[in-house]
Structure 1
Amino acid sequence: MADFDYDLFVIGGGSGGVRAARVAAGEAGAKVALAEEDRYGGTCVIRGCVPKKLMVFASEYAEVVEDAANYGWRLQEGPFDWPSFRARLNTELDRLEGVYRSLLKNSGVDSFDARATIKDAHTVALSTGETFTAKHILVATGGRPVRPEVPNADLGLVSDDIFHMEELPKRILIVGGGYIACEFACILHGLGVEVTQYYRGAQVLRGFDEEARGLISDAMNERGIDLHLGTDIVAMRCATEEDLAGHDANGIPMGAAVQEADYVEEDNSNPDGPIWVKSTNGKTRIFDKVFFATGRAPNTPEMGLEEVGVKLGRKGEIEVDDYSQTAVPSIYAIGDVTDRVNLTPVAIREGMAFVETVFKGNPTPVDHDLIPSAIFTQPEFGTVGLSEEQAREQEPIEVYSTSFRPMQTAFAGRPDRVLMKLVVSQESRKVLGCHIVAPNAGEMIQLAGIAVKMGATKEDFDRTVAVHPTMSEEIVTMRKPTRSA
């Protein structure tokens, strides 16, 4: 057998790659190296889940003063201090990156702060000029946000940029209707930004349960987010003096003449200034910032993957089998770079399954069935299993659904509504899907996900005594189906 520098070389220092590296080294005794060209922690810790969730927490304080007054407290309202929050946020991200580095070091993993490319089935080349051989190579390079093919799209922000803004804009346009677009629309609105959102589809959150996404869309409008469905950008550029003169203080055109402004000679020498936008409905508007949340792409370009025989899909994703193995037997891939289920806990599970399969002699396929997830809009959306629409196409179902005003916000005089929903198989009585739209829905769906994963029936839910008074008790008190299909 040929001698290699390492048993495993991991490319990518995100959650999946780091978990696989340290478990292979620490538990399986493998000699492991890992290369990361950016910050350790990957998208989730540095540019995604963690900073986003901290921004969610910050944005939710906007309603505390008003709600507290209705509960008898007298608090003083003040403006949100973005620079102070951002400084604390960066300190926390630095701490977490240090934790990831320590985990690797303490497990005996050799770390390289460099870009890695693949030269052949067993060879990795680093941007430092070093070259290493490995019996197995694991690609865990994640994904990146992409801009749409619109002229001057480089003037817009993507999700990676949000956390680096020196100051919050007064007005922002968010383009997109997926979970990232909707989450940041709610976050920035809660932080005091005037938010407009364009989505070319008929309803936001495509692919999720129709009833749940409709409630979230209504809630976003109710909160003051200016959501435009069936709308997209057709042109954008730096605003000219003529543009600014023809629009009011809110960036709205004051006369028909300004609609001709898109014919002026473009001058994009001030990319940090106001941005003129024309939408598919023919209207123009000026925003301080434009934020594109229009999709992500796997980080596979210029890695040498196809040259060594690894197959890529239409979007550049690495094609793998049930064991995360590519067309090249010695090369595996996990996480967002495979574009299977792009969630951090899934990447970690894939990394663990890889170690079990390759280093522990226990072939373990990745289980992508019944994965609970949460969207941190306001209110939150927790979901596991099939949507009503998906289940209806599969078999006859019953739907148990209730929407109501929760006690806490109803007492404070807010119009917020929540949704509790179970999708049930008529034949087996198993709960095929559970969908919750409510404050802290992410916390609730984690526990509901256990029951659904175990194959609980509607009658199992019915036999569970309610915890009163809570929102979640409605999940076990719905006795009659709302509808059948």
Structure 2
Amino acid sequence: MDFDFDLFVIGGGSGGVRAARVAAGETGARVGLGEESRMGGTCVIRGCVPKKLMVFASEYAEGMHEAIDYGWDVTIGGFDWTRFRTKLEGELDRLEGVYNKLLLGSGVEVFPQRATLVDAHTVRLADGIEKTAKHILIATGGWPLMPGLENEELGITSNEVFHLEALPERLLVVGGGYIACEMACIFNGLGTKVTQFYRGAQILRGFDGEARGHIAEHMERHGIAIHCGTNILRMHKGAKGIEVTATTGETHVYDQVLFATGRTPNSRGLGLEELGVEIGRRGEIVVDEYSQTAVPSIYAIGDVTNRVQLTPVAIREGMAFVETVFKGNPTPVDHELIPSAVFTQPEYGAVGLSEEEAREKGPIEVYSTAFRPMHKSFIAREDRVLMKLIVCAETRKVLGVHIVADHAGEMIQLAGVAVKMGATKEDFDRTVAVHPTMSEELVTLKTPVRRA
């Protein structure tokens, strides 16, 4: 059969774009790509990139106060949200242009509209035109999940948060995951009075327990009102804002409510189930280790598969797909020991197992220290850094590294190399410390604080 394309990609996020342009540029494949929204997907347009820029902006208030204590003559004014937002939107436009240019330069034909599946080799574009392809790759990402409350339309999600007309004076963040905690810290840093509701016992479920407690304590000390075991009972529009009654019975008024209650795979309405593609309980597309679905010609990568919801993972999966399908080199994706960072303030970097997970697998030793770093202690700040190693008592391998500190994301990237290589505690011990730094504590921890 003569197809219009060798590959048609549905979704123009980081994973889909990488797969499309590498397949076209490096193998000469005829590639088409359909994207119904903006090129760049969640990460570039409404996720990692704008979030990190907002993190940078939010850190300056504390930095200016610290500068005063260090001897600088600093005048602190208010934050101009409109000025920042305009610059942010300009940067996102620039990055979208870069993505389009990369696709064009690789020879990918782009269709700026929604694409759905007709059969195992055919997609239908929103204008009704159908295109055939030998292989189809689904890379439609994820989408914010709303809680299902009455009047929930009064609130916003992480999709809209970067485009607010004005900076809210009072913000309620609902959720306890990394997006919720990052947004709480960002807006707190920008001068908003932030309250956070989370129905669980402690924020950042799934991460290391000691690190979770450390971050929560820091957030509260810096003015974020965290209410665990709490959810919204009801909400409605009042004369002075959004009136929210909590499950505790208390009612307060907020200028904005941000729902960060999870993300769901963006697989609805694509026509997948009708073709025999298996869809999981949370809406994820079920794939094998080569990202292939139950329909041999259809593959899926990234958040829509709900394997590991991280941009670099989606890119790795896209590259492995090209190696497997277009370069004749079957390449499974390695999802083990992936470093990650949560951009709270301070940041949290982690790789490997949490203490709780490690305990379930066998005897461990835990090396941990919390201290005031030089930068903070000099100006009498109470903020403390957490450095933690989890070690297998039998093999001596480092099973997990957890860092809560400024620039933890930068540090965990390098620690991730060592853990991925199978470094032992003695390998860490043999490494000479870089002094004076926070990270030197990782190689000077000599005595376990506990065994389990």
TM-score (norm 2): 0.99
Q: Please name the residue that 1:210 is paired with.
A: 209
Q: Please name the residue that 1:338 is paired with.
A: 305
Q: Please name the residue that 1:50 is paired with.
A: 49
Q: Please name the residue that 1:175 is paired with.
A: 174
1:391 aligns with 2:358: yes
Partner of 1:212: helix, strand, or coil? helix
Larger Rg: 1
Measured against aligned partners, the alpha-carbon deviations of 1:35-72 in whole angstroms (never above 9, x if no partner) come to 10000000000000000000000000011221111111
Q: Please name the residue that 1:127 is paired with.
A: 126
1:365 aligns with 2:332: yes
1:458 aligns with 2:416: no
Identical-pair percentage:
69
Q: Report the Cα offset of residue 28 of structure 1.
A: 1.3
The residue type paired with residue 444 of structure 1 is: M
Contact 1:235 1:279 in 2 (8 A): yes
Partner of 2:433: helix, strand, or coil? coil
Q: Please name the residue that 2:392 is paired with.
A: 425
Q: Report the Cα offset of residue 386 of structure 1.
A: 0.2
Cα separation, 2, equivalents of 1:447 and 1:28? 32
Contact 1:374 1:381 in 2 (8 A): yes
The residue type paired with residue 33 of structure 1 is: G
Point out where structure 1 has 5 or more consecutive residues left out of the alignment. 245-273
Partner of 2:32: helix, strand, or coil? strand
Measured against aligned partners, the alpha-carbon deviations of 1:132-187 in whole angstroms (never above 9, x if no partner) come to 00000000000110110111111111001101101101101000000000000000
1:55-70 to 2 correspondences below 5 Å: 55-70=54-69
Cα separation, 1, equivalents of 2:374 and 2:429? 23
Cα separation, 2, equivalents of 1:140 and 1:194? 37
Q: Please name the residue that 1:287 is paired with.
A: 254
1:435 aligns with 2:402: yes
Measured against aligned partners, the alpha-carbon deviations of 1:332-381 in whole angstroms (never above 9, x if no partner) come to 00000000000000000000000000000000011000000000000000
Measured against aligned partners, the alpha-carbon deviations of 1:453-480 in whole angstroms (never above 9, x if no partner) come to 0000000000000000000000000011
1:129-278 to 2 correspondences below 5 Å: 129-240=128-239, 274-278=241-245
Cα separation, 1, equivalents of 2:63 and 2:265? 39
Contact 1:147 1:154 in 2 (8 A): no
1:20 aligns with 2:19: yes
Cα separation, 2, equivalents of 1:344 and 1:119? 28
The residue type paired with residue 312 of structure 2 is: P
Partner of 2:27: helix, strand, or coil? coil
C-alpha RMSD over aligned residues: 0.6
Partner of 2:283: helix, strand, or coil? coil
Partner of 2:77: helix, strand, or coil? coil
Contact 1:401 1:481 in 2 (8 A): yes
Contact 1:298 1:316 in 2 (8 A): yes
Moved over 6 A (4+): none
Aligned to 1:326, which of 286, 289, 293? Answer: 293
The residue type paired with residue 279 of structure 2 is: L
Contact 1:70 1:411 in 2 (8 A): no
Partner of 2:159: helix, strand, or coil? helix
Contact 1:25 1:109 in 2 (8 A): yes
Q: Please name the residue that 1:88 is paired with.
A: 87
Partner of 1:362: helix, strand, or coil? coil
Partner of 1:21: helix, strand, or coil? helix
Q: Report the Cα offset of residue 413 of structure 1.
A: 2.0
Cα separation, 1, equivalents of 2:168 and 2:161? 11
Q: Report the Cα offset of residue 410 of structure 1.
A: 1.6
The residue type paired with residue 357 of structure 1 is: T
Partner of 2:16: helix, strand, or coil? helix
1:472 aligns with 2:439: yes
Q: Report the Cα offset of residue 409 of structure 1.
A: 1.4
Cα separation, 1, equivalents of 2:223 and 2:315? 37
Q: Please name the residue that 1:400 is paired with.
A: 367
Cα separation, 1, equivalents of 2:376 and 2:93? 36
Aligned to 1:297, which of 260, 264, 274? Answer: 264
Q: Report the Cα offset of residue 24 of structure 1.
A: 0.4
1:312 aligns with 2:251: no
Partner of 2:171: helix, strand, or coil? strand
Partner of 2:243: helix, strand, or coil? strand
Equivalent pairs counted in the alignment come to 452
Cα separation, 1, equivalents of 2:127 and 2:339? 41
More displaced 10-residue stretch of structure 1: 10-19 or 69-78: 69-78
Cα separation, 1, equivalents of 2:132 and 2:40? 24
Partner of 2:289: helix, strand, or coil? coil
Q: Please name the residue that 2:117 is paired with.
A: 118
Aligned to 1:377, which of 306, 327, 344? Answer: 344
Measured against aligned partners, the alpha-carbon deviations of 1:291-333 in whole angstroms (never above 9, x if no partner) come to 1000111111111010111110111110000000001000000
Point out where structure 2 has 5 or more consecutive residues left out of the alignment. none
Cα separation, 2, equivalents of 1:484 and 1:342? 32
Cα separation, 2, equivalents of 1:297 and 1:310? 17
Cα separation, 2, equivalents of 1:125 and 1:413? 63
Cα separation, 2, equivalents of 1:69 and 1:238? 41
Cα separation, 2, equivalents of 1:411 and 1:383? 27
1:352 aligns with 2:319: yes
Q: Please name the residue that 1:100 is paired with.
A: 99
Q: Please name the residue that 1:265 is paired with.
A: none
The residue type paired with residue 396 of structure 2 is: R
Cα separation, 1, equivalents of 2:426 and 2:123? 55
Cα separation, 2, equivalents of 1:117 and 1:5? 16
Partner of 2:8: helix, strand, or coil? strand
More displaced 10-residue stretch of structure 1: 410-419 or 29-38: 410-419
Cα separation, 1, equivalents of 2:127 and 2:437? 57
Contact 1:25 1:108 in 2 (8 A): yes
